[in-house]
Amino acid sequence: ETGVTQTPRHLVMGMTNKKSLKCEQHLGHNAMYWYKQSAKKPLELMFVYSLEERVENNSVPSRFSPECPNSSHLFLHLHTLQPEDSALYLCASSQYLSRSGSSYEQYFGPGTRLTVT
Amino acid sequence: EDQVTQSPEALRLQEGESSSLNCSYTVSGLRGLFWYRQDPGKGPEFLFTLYSAGEEKEKERLKATLTKKESFLHITAPKPEDSATYLCAVQANSGYALNFGKGTSLLVTP
């Protein structure tokens, strides 16, 4: 495997289900991200992890729960979702978390297409 | 508040017909401006990073330029395989998040 992989690629779940999205990066990066992409809207940053520590939570509802057990793996645990949560969920990684004076491009996985019924 | 506006929303070109995509931005100190390509059902693919006004980068038929207020992605003699959505994102000095525009959907017909 190379780059950033995500599983599953497609997921249909009911509003009362619990499911998890998985992301794995094979780039040796230290920062990982979850984004949400809805139709006709820009990508929205949800969570940021640096060296397994969460550094940003962009006012995301508690029905989304991230987990980063190590610098190569990232999970997004889902429970009691709403239909408006249907979207493409993208995982990304970068070499480091960009702080003052430096900038690192983010590399994205193929995404999980989530449909909430 | 940081803002990124891409235009046009959609663009249809004949194969070989050169054109430019625009990304206008307002940001409190630019750390980097990023261009990505996204094919349907796939994640964005990194193309370029630009850091300061006057900078240019090229890759095959694509050339990205940057001024203090906007960036252009010039497509020279496009081919049908260049059809995709092109996304622009900015990163401010004050943070590490990428602020994305809505993208330009490009269709190149034979």
Distance CA B61, CA B67 (A): 20
Query: How does residue A101 score in pLDDT terms, banded at 50, 70 and 90?
Result: low
Q: Which of B44, B81, B86, B48 is nearest to B64 (CA)?
A: B48
Query: Cβ of B36 under 8 Å from any chain A Cβ?
Result: yes
SS3 letters across B61-95:
CEEEEECCCEEEEEECCCCHHHCEEEEEEEEECCC
Taking a contact as any Cβ pair under 8 Å apart, which residues of chain A between 29 and 48 contact chain B? 40-43, 45, 48
Tell whether A100 is within 8 A of chain B (Cβ).
yes
User: What is the tens place of the pLDDT at every residue in A6-35?
Assistant: 999 999 998 888 999 999 999 999 999 999
Query: Rounded to an integer, what distance in angstroms lies between the CA atom of residue A22 and that of residue A111?
Result: 10
Tokens of B3: 């803002």
Q: Closest-CA residue in chain A for B105?
A: A40
- B43 with A105: Cβ contact below 8 A: no
Mean pLDDT of chain B: 95
Q: How far is Cα of residue A23 from the mean position of the Cα atoms in its chain?
A: 7
Cα distances (angstroms) measured from residue A11 to each of A7, A115, B35: 9, 6, 29
Query: For residue range A29-74, what is the model confidence (pLDDT) as tens digits?
Result: 999 999 999 988 999 999 999 888 888 777 899 999 999 999 999 9
Report the alpha-carbon distance of residue A53 to residue B95 in Å, rounded. 16
Per-residue pLDDT tens over the stretch B17-70: 999 999 999 988 899 999 999 999 899 999 999 999 999 999 999 999 999 999
Identify the pLDDT of residue A9: 96
Chain B partners of A105 at a C-beta cutoff of 8 Å?
Answer: 32, 34, 46, 49
What pLDDT score does B106 carry?
98
The whole-angstrom separation of Cα B107 and Cα B110 is: 10
Nearest-angstrom CA–CA distance, A81 and A76: 12
Residue B102 has its nearest CB partner, among A41, A103, A108, at A41
In this predicted structure, the answer to whether residue A100 has a pLDDT above a threshold of 80 is: no
A71 is written with which tokens?
């610098």
Instruction: Mark yes or no for CB contact A110/B32 under 8 Å.
Output: no
Chain B nearest CA to A79, separation (Å)? 24
CB contact under 8 A, A106 and B49: no
pLDDT at B11 exceeding the cut of 90: yes
**B98, B100, B104, best to mutate vs chain A, most A CBs in 10 Å:** B98
Minimal CA separation from A97 to chain B, in Å: 7
Region B72-81: what's the mean pLDDT?
98
Residues in chain B: 110
**Mean pLDDT calculated for residue range B7-21:** 97
Average pLDDT score over residue span B82-92 = 96
